[in-house]
Every structure is written in C-alpha cells, then in structure tokens.
Structure 1
Amino acid sequence: MEAFFYIVPSLMLAVALLGATAVVHRARQVDRAWTSGLTAEARCLRTYATTSGGGDSMVHTTLHHVYEFMTREGRVVRFEEGGGPGTILEGDIVTVRYAADRPDRATAKTPARGRLAAGTGCLLAFLGVMAAFCIAFMIGVHEAFDLAGDFLQP
C-alpha cells in the first residue's frame, strides 16, 4: 500500500520532466530556425484541426498546417506544424525559416522571441510546480508513514 504513494507521484514527476525536456527542445528548434537566416517560400498543402478534451473538461482545438518548400540546395522538404494561424489556407504561400542542417525542422511562425520565451517559461513554471508538488507529496507521505510506525510500536 505504501508503494502506491511513491509510484504514482514518481510517474507524474517523470511525465513533468519529459514534458519540460520536450518544451525546451522545441523552443530551441524554433529559435535556431529563426536565427539561421535561411528563408524559403513554402506552399500550404493541407490544413486540419485536432481536438482534445470534452466530457467534463474544456475542448481544445489545435490547427495544423502541412507545408512544402525547396531548400537552396534544391531539396524538397515537407513538414507539419501545429498551432498556426487560422488565416493560412491550403494553397497559400508563406515564408518559412529553417536551419541549413535540419530543414525538416522548419517553422512558418513569425519570429517573436519574447513570445517564445514567455510561453516556454510559463510551461516550465507549470511543470516545475507539478514536479515540486510530487516531491513534496512523497516527502510528506514518507514522514507520515514514519510517524505512524512510531505510534504503532509497543
């Protein structure tokens, strides 16, 4: 029974740490694409929306775009990006930014370093609070079981 109070928070802590790693990794990819200075004209091939939630929770919709562009070397690259604007439709031409060594990690998002830092910071703060809660919970459970053990001994 005691193990349950350690396993569940440990799994939640692992999810928070993996989430933080993914958030930082994606922010670095986008920033690298912005700072590379390489741009290309891309065509939006497809747009679609995904939804999550429902039931007792709020429904969240994310708009995705599939883009295709040609690098300066003549390589055709196709990539998908979520969270884009609703004003871009299939067939539209947009400017994408990419790093020379990883054009498949391009972005059609307009450079906004402050917004990227704020969004990344807020997500990291949320995940940090979640991790701190898990650790504090495990410490509290450990102390409670120690205290209960002291009272149960004759």
Structure 2
Amino acid sequence: MEALFYVVPLLMIGAAVFMLTRVLRRAREVRGAWGSGLTAEARCLRTYTTAGGGESMVSTTLHHVYEFTTRDGRSVRFEESNGPATVVEGDIVTVHYVAERPERATAHAPAHGKLAAESGCLLAFLGVFITGCVIFMVVVHASFSAVDGFLP
C-alpha cells in the first residue's frame, strides 16, 4: 500500500518530464527555423480542430496542414497546431524552415519574446508540479517513518 504513494507521484513526474522535453524540443525547432533565414510560400491544404478536456472544461486546438517546396525542389507537407484562426484552406502563408529538416517548419511569424514567455511559463508550471510531487513523497515518507517508529 505504501508503494502506491511513491509509484503514482513517480509516474506523474515521468509524464511531466516527458512534457518538459517536448516543450523544449519544439521551442528549439521553432527558434532554429526562424533563425535559419530560409522561407518559402506554403499553401494551407486543410484545417481542423481537435477537442479535449472533461465534463466541465473543454478545450479545442486548431490544426493546419501546409505544403511547400524547398529551395532544392523537394515538396514538403507538415502539420502545425495553434495556428491563426484567420488562415483557411487555400491560403498562402510564409513558412520558416531549416534545410536539414524542412518537415519541422513553422508558419508562425517570428516572435522570440512570445516563444520564450510561453515556454518559460510552461517550464515554470511543470517545475512547480514536479517539486510538489517530490515534496508529497518526502512528506509521505516522513509520515510512514514516524508511524513505523511508534509501532511496538
């Protein structure tokens, strides 16, 4: 039974660390695409939304599917979430990409401060969440140790 108080927080910490790595990786990809200087005109092929959440709160995410041709003539199709709602199927947008990985392009306009703020807030939240899990495990361990000390 005591193991449950360690296993569940460790699983939650593992999920938070996974999300941390995803946030950092995508921020690095977007920052690299903006900094590469390579741009192309892309056509929005499709837009769709996904919904998530529970009974009391539902969130929707807007996704766009874009296609563009790189400077070396390669046709690339990629999907990006949280794009502007004003972009609809058939629109032409400017995308930024890195020559080595054009499939990780972005149609978001360069906004380094916004990217840093969004990533920083998510990292801070996940850091507090992980810290809370660790504190919970320390308190539970201390409680079990105190109880064990009073048993005959």
Following TM superposition, by how much is the alpha carbon of 1:80 offset from its aligned partner in structure 2, in angstroms?
0.2
1:65-107 deviation line (CA, Å, top 9, x unaligned): 0000000000000000000011000000000000010000000
The TM-score with structure 1 as length reference comes to 0.97
Letter aligned with residue 61 of structure 2: T
Aligned to 2:61: 62
The equivalent of 2:109 in structure 1 is 110
The separation in 2 between residues aligned to 1:16 and 1:129, in whole angstroms, is 10
2:12 partner amino acid: M
In 2, Cα distance between the equivalents of 1:7 and 1:19? 18
1:40 is aligned to 40
Partner of 1:91: 90
* CA drift at 1:54: 3.5
* TM, length-normalised to structure 2: 0.99
Deviation of the 1:119 alpha carbon: 0.2
Query: d(CA) in 2 for partners of 1:11 and 1:131?
Result: 11
Query: Helix, strand or coil: the match of 2:8?
Result: helix
Count, aligned residues: 152
Mark the runs of 5 or more structure 1 residues left unpaired by the alignment: none
> 1:146, 1:86 → 2: CA distance?
55
| Paired-residue identity, % | 62
RMSD: 0.6
Could you tell me how far 1:59 is from its partner in structure 2? 1.0
Partners of 1:130 and 1:75 lie apart in 2 by: 43
Distance, in Å, in 2 between the alignment partners of 1:46 and 1:17 is 32
1:142 alignment counterpart:
141
Per-residue displacement from partner, 1:96-143 (whole Å, max 9, x unpaired)? 000010000000000000000000000001100110011001111111
Structure 2 regions of 5+ residues with no counterpart? none
Match for 2:119: what amino acid? T
Spell out structure 1 runs of 4+ moving beyond 4 A.
Answer: none
What one-letter code is carried by the residue in structure 2 that aligns with 1:122? C
Partner SS, residue 39 of structure 1: strand
Deviations 1:12-37 (A, max 9, x none): 01011111111000000000000000
Q: Is residue 24 of structure 1 aligned with residue 24 of structure 2?
A: yes
Q: Hey, what's the Cα distance between the residues in 2 that align with 1:54 and 1:48?
A: 20
Give SS of 1:143's match. helix
Q: Which residue of 2 aligns with 1:8?
A: 8
CA–CA distance in 1 between the matches of 2:150 and 2:107? 63
Query: 1:41 is paired with a residue of what secondary structure?
Result: strand
Which amino acid counterpart does residue 108 of structure 1 have in structure 2? Answer: A
